[in-house]
Amino acid sequence: MKTRVTIKDIARQLNLSHATVSRALNRSDDPFISVATRERVRKTAEEMNYQPNHAARALVTGKTGIITMWLWSEGRQGSYHARVSQFMQAQLEPEPYQLIIDLMSYKSLGFGKEKLMSPWAVDGIIAHEADPVLSKLNGDSAIFPIPIVSMGAYQLMYTQDLVGVDIRPGSDAAMDHLILGGRKRIAYLTDDLPHRVTDARYVAYTVKMEEAGFPTEFIPLENPLRAVVRTKMREYLESHQPPEAIFCHNDDMAIAAYRALCDLGIRCPDDVALVGCDGIEDTEYLETPITTIVQPMERMCELAWEYLSRRMKDPSTPIQQTWLPAKLEIRESSMS
Amino acid sequence: MKTRVTIKDIARQLNLSHATVSRALNRSDDPFISVATRERVRKTAEEMNYQPNHAARALVTGKTGIITMWLWSEGRQGSYHARVSQFMQAQLEPEPYQLIIDLMSYKSLGFGKEKLMSPWAVDGIIAHEADPVLSKLNGDSAIFPIPIVSMGAYQLMYTQDLVGVDIRPGSDAAMDHLILGGRKRIAYLTDDLPHRVTDARYVAYTVKMEEAGFPTEFIPLENPLRAVVRTKMREYLESHQPPEAIFCHNDDMAIAAYRALCDLGIRCPDDVALVGCDGIEDTEYLETPITTIVQPMERMCELAWEYLSRRMKDPSTPIQQTWLPAKLEIRESSMS
DNA sequence: TTGAAAGCGCTAACAG
DNA sequence: CTGTTAGCGCTTTCAA
């Protein structure tokens, strides 16, 4: 039964106290330790292949070195979530922190509060579009001592560190673009009933349609999975006269819709224009690149981490907030 | 200064020892505790909003409840890695474990061994195509007591728990398919020089070309990013007579190549056939779906987790190995 | 059926 | 400059 080497082993080897070893290994600033000793300790630690026990360290310091990202992923995660995960991971890679991604959904909300949290007392939380969680936890003293930065397009609580993405202007622009392009029958494709009223895309759609005097038309989805959207879309197109344009809740749906159009030989953008939202890479690689509202995902992750680490270092930092614009990028799928 | 409630607080409240509280809360099997006490403890724990301190628990038990997945991602992560991450996450969601994804690359190999590991003593490791890491760590006693399951298409060490993906038959089938389709000038697109010789795709390509008596043609890439591949491919196509087919190292590259063809108005599959590898969703949603070698990612993750959890429960489990076939799925991009 | 006590590996006063 | 000491919160013998 081999057991990992501890600072005590090193201390014994060197005829020092384990406290000295601890100081030598950590606090590289501490002047109260001789250079010689520090070197000796470092060297033997290396030789003995010493690996600090983080559980022990965490126990005494109260710091785990773990950051959680709450990722709202009702149903399956789509490409957008994958990208955000990757950007956040990249952000943390050079840092002395580990990222744990906690998938959140309405189902998780059903559990008790403790189930919402990583069992580890994390040092900080990045809450990505996890507003339902924040609301549920609202003011919970057991959680809110942990620094939290909220990010993404859905933001209800403005009383905290925040990297918001404002998709309203982009959504408005998208609608204007479609309407100016002469499209009248514009449908809206979504699975996201619960969020509708707070969703800027939805609001932009309804307002602009109202303004233009066009009736709204919803294509509802019970599920955001590409395969499901494709089938559903195909069914819809077969049973209805195709609309002149479809404003899709996100790019995954837009791509699925695109494919459904292909399946039926309906031309995009000639017959049906398509607009998505998020700005995932895939929309650019289709034969007909899809117009979309591009979220600045990388910048969002970068800023969120900046805010979070600042808050962790100094809890008294004034509240930090930014709204980043999501910009419409017009591509072939919506040209007239 | 509020401090989290501990079992001692509960014990004090109830006039019990903290040991009793501990027993009541955990070991639900332990018969040596009265039902009444257990209930009282549970209830007050709930009321006081008790959250166990996992660092303390880990310190004494030696179990952290953390699983690491080593994800080999030289350069940026592509869609395939994103999918694998998601499947693994889904796999662990219902389990009492947290997943930490450690991005590995040749750069990480440059660091000391300890840098390779999550600072946390994890309970288990899923090594996804992290063979270079395993080789480097080969036999390292500090690491190999930790259960490791290796998964993916690159496998050099066969002496361990393993969920391999055999892409050789699929690759052979892909080459046969192209050659039978009458394509003679078949190029191979890759960025993965270091792996070449151990890469079944590469081997299949060279062997089949040799057999057919066709000269090989490599399109090298310094970088697997889609944007880079697209540019590079375009340059290549402009400066060379386009080949009749391109066998791409992975689907991301195939998609980028597809887009490059679109850019130049070269028709796929009429002018150039395309074959990818991995089986990411995106290849199915293009106007011309891309033929690819589909890796059973979900099954791979499922099995890897099964193996790992079995090994964690019982270290003496006989070695567990499976090879899953990756199957060629012929789609429009390579039809003749 | 419960309590007392030891100790997991480490950090951080406080002494020397 | 270094050693002694006291826990951090929890699990686990061993006693009662």
Q: Is the pLDDT of residue B1 over 50?
A: no
Amino acid A8 CA to nucleotide D3 C1' distance, rounded Å? 13
pLDDT of A17 reads 83
Distances in Å between the Cα of A15 and the Cα atoms of A10, A22, A294, B9 are 8, 14, 61, 40
Interface probe with A: pick from B48, B83, B98, most Cβ of A within 10 Å: B98
Residue B181 to residue A253: CA distance in whole angstroms: 34
pLDDT, mean of residues B114-142: 77
Q: Is the pLDDT of residue B116 over 50?
A: yes
The band of B196, judged by pLDDT with boundaries at 50, 70 and 90, is low
**H or E element that contains A235:** helix A226-239
- pLDDT tens digits for range A100-128: 998 888 777 766 555 566 767 889 999 99
Contacting residues for B98 by C-beta, under 8 A, at least 6 apart: A100, A118, A119, A120, B65, B66, B67, B92
Q: Is the pLDDT of residue B115 over 80?
A: no
pLDDT of A1 reads 42
pLDDT of B30 reads 64
Q: For nucleic chain D, which protein residues have CB less than 7 Å from any of its atoms?
A: A 15-20, 23, 31-37, 56, 59-60; B 3-4, 6-8, 18-19, 22-23, 25-27, 50, 52-53, 56-57, 59-61
Q: In percent, how much of chain A has pLDDT > 70? A: 91
pLDDT, mean of residues B310-315: 91
- Considering only CB atoms, B51 lies closest to which of A65, A142, A259, namely A142
pLDDT, mean of residues B162-175: 96
pLDDT of A193 reads 65
Amino acid B8 CA to nucleotide C3 C1' distance, rounded Å? 13
∠ CA B146-B148-B151, rounded to 5°: 165
A211-246: b (≥16 Cβ within 10 Å) or e: eeeeeeeebebeebbbebbbebbbebbeeeebbbbb
Q: Which of A48-62, B18-32, B50-64, B80-94 has the lowest mean pLDDT?
A: B18-32
Q: Is the pLDDT of residue A142 over 60?
A: no
C-beta separation of A165 from A108 below 8 A: no
What is the DSSP annotation of A252-308? HHHHHHHHHHHHHT--TTTT-EEEEEE--GGGGTSSSPPEEEE--HHHHHHHHHHHH
Cβ separation B2–A49 shorter than 8 A: no
Comparing alpha-carbon positions, the chain B residue that sits nearest to A54 is B120
- Considering only CB atoms, B98 lies closest to which of A96, A120, A281, namely A120
Q: In percent, how much of chain A has pLDDT > 90? A: 58
Comparing alpha-carbon positions, the chain A residue that sits nearest to B77 is A86
Comparing alpha-carbon positions, the chain A residue that sits nearest to B256 is A285
Contacting residues for B186 by C-beta, under 8 A, at least 6 apart: B175, B178, B179, B205, B209, B214, B217, B243, B244, B245, B246, B247
Whose CA is closest to A275, among A300, A297, A250, A298?
A250
Residue B210 to residue B1: CA distance in whole angstroms: 74
Q: Is A86 an 8 Å CB contact of chain B? A: yes
Residue A167 to residue A249: CA distance in whole angstroms: 11
pLDDT of A254 reads 97
Residue A222 to residue B10: CA distance in whole angstroms: 45
Amino acid A19 CA to nucleotide D4 C1' distance, rounded Å? 9
Cβ separation A142–B286 shorter than 8 A: no
Taking the model in full, what pTM does it have? 0.91
What is the distance in angstroms between the CA of the first residue and the CA of the last residue of chain B?
A: 73
Residues in chain B: 336
Q: 10 Å Cβ neighbour count for B74?
A: 18
The structure tokens listed for B95 are 């389990």
The structure tokens listed for A24 are 């030598």
Q: Is the pLDDT of residue B31 over 80?
A: no
- pLDDT tens digits for range B245-276: 999 999 999 999 999 999 999 999 999 999 99
- pLDDT tens digits for range B84-99: 999 999 999 888 899 9
CB contacts < 8 A (A, B): 129
Task: Classify strands B186-190 and B148-152 as parallel, antiparallel or unpaired.
Answer: unpaired
pLDDT, mean of residues A48-76: 86
All residues of chain B having their beta carbon less than 8 Å from the beta carbon of residue A66 are 120
Cβ separation B141–A2 shorter than 8 A: yes
Give the closest-approach CA distance of B46 to chain A in angstroms. 10
pLDDT of B141 reads 56
User: To the nearest whole number, what is the mean pLDDT of chain B?
Assistant: 89
Q: Which of A88-97, B5-14, B67-76 has the lowest mean pLDDT?
A: B67-76
Residue with the two structure tokens 């106007």: B287
C-beta separation of B94 from B309 below 8 A: no
The DSSP call for residue B197 is G
SS3 call for B198: helix
Comparing alpha-carbon positions, the chain A residue that sits nearest to B264 is A287
pLDDT of B40 reads 84
The band of B103, judged by pLDDT with boundaries at 50, 70 and 90, is confident
pLDDT, mean of residues B112-119: 63
Q: Mutual orientation of helices A168-180 and A200-212 as an angle, nearest 10°? A: 30
The structure tokens listed for B234 are 């375009």
Residues in chain A: 336
Q: Is B282 an 8 Å CB contact of chain A? A: yes
Whose CA is closest to B186, among B208, B166, B169, B168?
B208
Strands laid side by side in the B186-190 sheet: B218-220, B186-190, B245-248, B273-278, B291-294, B327-329
Cβ separation A117–B82 shorter than 8 A: no
Residue A189 to residue A258: CA distance in whole angstroms: 12
Residue A145 to residue B2: CA distance in whole angstroms: 9
